[in-house]
Amino acid sequence: MAEPLLFEMSRPERKGVPVPQSDVPEQALPAELCRDSLPLPEVAERDVVKHFTRLSQLNYGIDLGLYPLGSCTMKYNPRINEDAARQPGFAMIHPYQPAETVQGALELLYELQGYLAEISGFDAVTLQPAAGAHGELTGILVVRAYHESRGDSARTKVIVPDSAHGTNPATAAMAGYQVITVPSNARGNVDLEALRKVVGPDTAAMMITNPNTLGLYDEGASELVEIIHEAGGLVYNDGANFNAILGIVKPGEIGFDIMHYNVHKTFSTPHGGGGPGAGPVGVKAHLARFLPTPTVVKDETDAGPTYRLEPVPDSIGKLHAFWGNFGVLVRAYTYIIANGDTGLRAVSEHAVLNANYIRAKLSDVYAVPIDRINMHECLLSGSRQKKLGVRTLDIAKRLIDKGFYPPTVYFPLIIDEALLIEPTETETVETLDSFIAAMREIAREAEEQPEEVKSAPHHTPVRRLDEATAARRPNLRWQPPEQAAD
Amino acid sequence: MSQLPTDRRYTKEHEWIKIEGDIATVGITEFAQSELGDVTYVEVPKVGEQLSQGQAFGVVESVKAVSDIYAPVAGEVVEVNDSLADEPETVNASPYEGAWMVKLRLAGPADSPDLLSADEYEQHIAAGGH
């Protein structure tokens, strides 16, 4: 059953909170600032609590079940992270406190800069950016600062593969660069011949995701880096899929110059709630002087180490107030030390194993567009089902009936009827098996009773939403019935 | 695939172009709209803009994806279909007639080796051309 809006529950004069009598003299507001009516919902506290509790029960989150949203790494958020972030020494401090009173917090930031650098093979890390896309912008501003510092102003283009996350071209365009797209080849790697044709003295950088959004490790990564470096450009690694290679590959060692980390993906901080988040950025030594300012440094003294903030000399500036979303960084730090080096490697090994298990168990009923061992996510296609009149969107909606959050659909854009499935390492084999069984059942339904799939979901409070009308004629806020009729 | 209109040419990027005198009318194909799904937004250029061949001049956004539209030939924009701003669904309902997007005054010869006939375009789609 759909939950009514608070506005629909409103009754005249009903109140949630008794407002105390004013004990200060009343001041009249200027007439032009006053209005005759303010149609806020009038509801009792009891009803508000029931309303939001019911809404929370309708929600589907990572704590309820599998959330195989490809390219998003919706892994379980260990509770120890929350415990650490709630320690009063972390939770109750203020950014204006003198550095000597927050040594523990600064030590944590310093250590985290070092851990991220070590895990990824970079030399310096900023923790300021508030999310992955913010990290991308940071990285591309560093690219610009680097070229400008060399008096090299002719570099106007950023190259992205056609499998890129949409944020890559958006970031490049936002930083004022022209975006050049290069195709992928039949094995899902960047087409290096096509790349050679577009690189030149106007190439500022190439942004690539490795493993890429097809869930595949780019076999030409090292050669790609050489091609860009030879042309004088920098290579930016989008770390969205870092969860596949922890403890196995260090992107810095392949030759990438810059990389961002999605701590909400790889390092298990909360995800999808609209923030706060963090998207730290790592760079090679020659780019460290451009990072956002300040950075945390360690001084060895006779009394032991002390930590302080230090300005970055040729910084692109500040990207976030103070030094980023500290509480999120505490969670990422906790995850890293709770797992340790062998634990982080096991994270990636299990993430890759789980995704390959799903592909292997479904490849006889769903098309596999690129037949390779995949990394942490597997790419299937609903192209066989499409011939039966059942589209990938229908398959996704039917999965909701079976109790699962659907995978990413229609992305990457270069794959027809794409289904991008990322189970993560945190699911048991029993959960994977029940997801596989549901996907197989849907494949059978598509053949035997396609209407059942095409009209899904059947067991949800609201049925299939009219996304087209919602996008064409968005109704973004509630209005009183008499105004809505206008 | 239903029968394609033969009074026009096609591109591998799924635009159609119909030439009458020195005016070329451009839209996207039935195949393009069916792949995109329900179209929610169409952005067309301004009248007077000069387009080079292959230049992205507009955007079609659907519930699934956002795609650029490319100029099949070079020319000046002389008219745009403003009604698509309010009724983007026309692209789904009538890709070959109601949902024409721009009219260009040709800047050069109307013929280009990149333009496909209806038959050639049909083969391009059958071969899995995206």
* Cα–Cα dist A410/A213, whole Å: 12
Q: What element of type H or E holds A440?
A: helix A429-448
Taking a C-beta distance cutoff of 8 angstroms, is the pair B31, B25 a contact? Answer: no
* Cα–Cα dist A202/A217, whole Å: 28
Same domain, A385 and A400: yes
Taking a C-beta distance cutoff of 8 angstroms, is the pair A411, A381 a contact? Answer: no
Q: How far is A79 from chain B (nearest CA, A)?
A: 36
Q: What is the interface pTM, i.e. ipTM, of the complex?
A: 0.74
Taking a C-beta distance cutoff of 8 angstroms, is the pair A184, A195 a contact? Answer: no
Chain B residues close to A410, C-beta within 8 Å? 64-65
Asked if the structure places residue A73 within a domain, the reply is no
Q: Which residues pair with A125 in a beta bridge?
A: A282
Same domain, A132 and A163: yes
* Confidence class for position A485, pLDDT limits 50, 70, 90: low
Question: pLDDT, tens digit, for every residue of A392-438?
Answer: 999 999 999 999 999 999 999 889 999 999 999 999 999 999 999 99
Q: How far is B24 from chain A (nearest CA, A)?
A: 27
Residue A74 CB contacts under 8 Å (≥ 6 apart), including other chains: A62, A67, A68, A271, A272, A405, A422, A424
Question: pLDDT, tens digit, for every residue of A339-388?
Answer: 999 999 999 999 999 999 999 999 999 999 999 999 999 999 999 999 99
Q: Per-residue pLDDT for A132 more than 50?
A: yes
Residues within 8 A of A (CB atoms), B 19-38 only: 37-38
Token pair belonging to B124: 């391009």
* Confidence class for position A49, pLDDT limits 50, 70, 90: very high
Asked if the structure places residue A482 within a domain, the reply is no
Same domain, A323 and A190: yes
Residue of A414, A416, A467 lying closest to B63 (CB–CB): A467
Q: Per-residue pLDDT for A275 more than 80?
A: no
For the residues A15-41, what does the mean pLDDT come to? 89
Q: Per-residue pLDDT for B32 more than 80?
A: yes
Q: How far is B13 from chain A (nearest CA, A)?
A: 13
Name the burial class of residue A125, with classes exposed (0-12), middle (13-18) and buried (19+) by CB atoms within 10 angstroms of its CB: buried
CA atoms within 13 A on the CB side of A374: 30
Same domain, A26 and A97: no
**A124 CA to centre of own chain:** 22
At the top level of CATH, the class of B9-107 is mainly beta
Structure confidence at residue A468 (pLDDT): 87
Please give the interface size between A and B, counted as residue pairs whose CB atoms are below 8 Å apart. Answer: 24
Question: By residue range, what is the domain housing residue A44?
Answer: 7-58
High-pLDDT (> 90) share of chain A, % = 87
Name the burial class of residue A208, with classes exposed (0-12), middle (13-18) and buried (19+) by CB atoms within 10 angstroms of its CB: buried
Domain ranges of chain B: 9-107
SS3 call for A367: strand
- The larger pLDDT score, comparing residue A83 to residue B129, is at A83
Taking a C-beta distance cutoff of 8 angstroms, is the pair B7, B70 a contact? Answer: no
Residues within 8 A of A (CB atoms), B 39-98 only: 39-41, 61, 63-65, 88-89
Question: pLDDT, tens digit, for every residue of A196-229?
Answer: 999 999 999 999 999 999 999 999 999 999 999 9
CA atoms within 13 A on the CB side of A16: 13
Asked if the structure places residue A439 within a domain, the reply is yes
Asked if the structure places residue A212 within a domain, the reply is yes
How many other CB atoms sit within 10 Å of the CB of residue A101?
10
Q: How far is B23 from chain A (nearest CA, A)?
A: 30
* Cα–Cα dist A405/A172, whole Å: 32
CATH number at residue A154: 3.40.640.10
The values of phi and psi at residue A251, to 5°, are -55, -35
Same domain, A313 and A372: no
How many other CB atoms sit within 10 Å of the CB of residue B92?
17
In the block, tokens 């929610």 appear at B40
Across the interface, whether the CB atoms of B130 and A468 are under 8 A apart is answered: no
Asked if the structure places residue A1 within a domain, the reply is no
Q: In 3D, which of A411, A392, A418 has the Cα closest to residue A162? A: A411
* Number of structural domains chain A divides into: 3
- Angle (deg, nearest 10), helices A429-448 and A326-362: 50
By a Cβ cutoff of 8 Å, what residues of chain A touch chain B? 393, 410, 413-414, 416, 467-468, 471-472
Residue of A410, A414, A472 lying closest to B64 (CB–CB): A410
Name the burial class of residue A374, with classes exposed (0-12), middle (13-18) and buried (19+) by CB atoms within 10 angstroms of its CB: buried
Same domain, A351 and A418: yes
Q: In 3D, which of A228, A230, A204 has the Cα closest to residue A150? A: A204
CATH number at residue A386: 3.90.1150.10
At B67, the amino acid letter reads S
Same domain, A158 and A258: yes
Chain B residues close to A416, C-beta within 8 Å? 130
Q: In 3D, which of A376, A379, A384 has the Cα closest to residue A368? A: A379
Taking a C-beta distance cutoff of 8 angstroms, is the pair B57, B102 a contact? Answer: yes
> Angle at CA A263, nearest 5°, toward A261 and A265?
100
Three-state secondary structure readout of A33-87: HCCCCCCCCCCCHHHHHHHHHHHHHHCCCCCCCCCCECCCCCCCCCHHHHHHHCC
* Cα–Cα dist A400/A455, whole Å: 12
At B115, the amino acid letter reads L
* Confidence class for position B1, pLDDT limits 50, 70, 90: very low
For the residues A18-46, what does the mean pLDDT come to? 90
Three-state secondary structure readout of B25-92: EEEECHHHHHHHCCEEEEECCCCCCEECCCCEEEEEEECCCEEEEECCCCEEEEEECCHHHHCCCHHH
* Cα–Cα dist A436/A430, whole Å: 10
CA distances from A76 to A262, A379, B42 (A): 15, 22, 39
Same domain, A51 and A186: no
Asked if the structure places residue A154 within a domain, the reply is yes
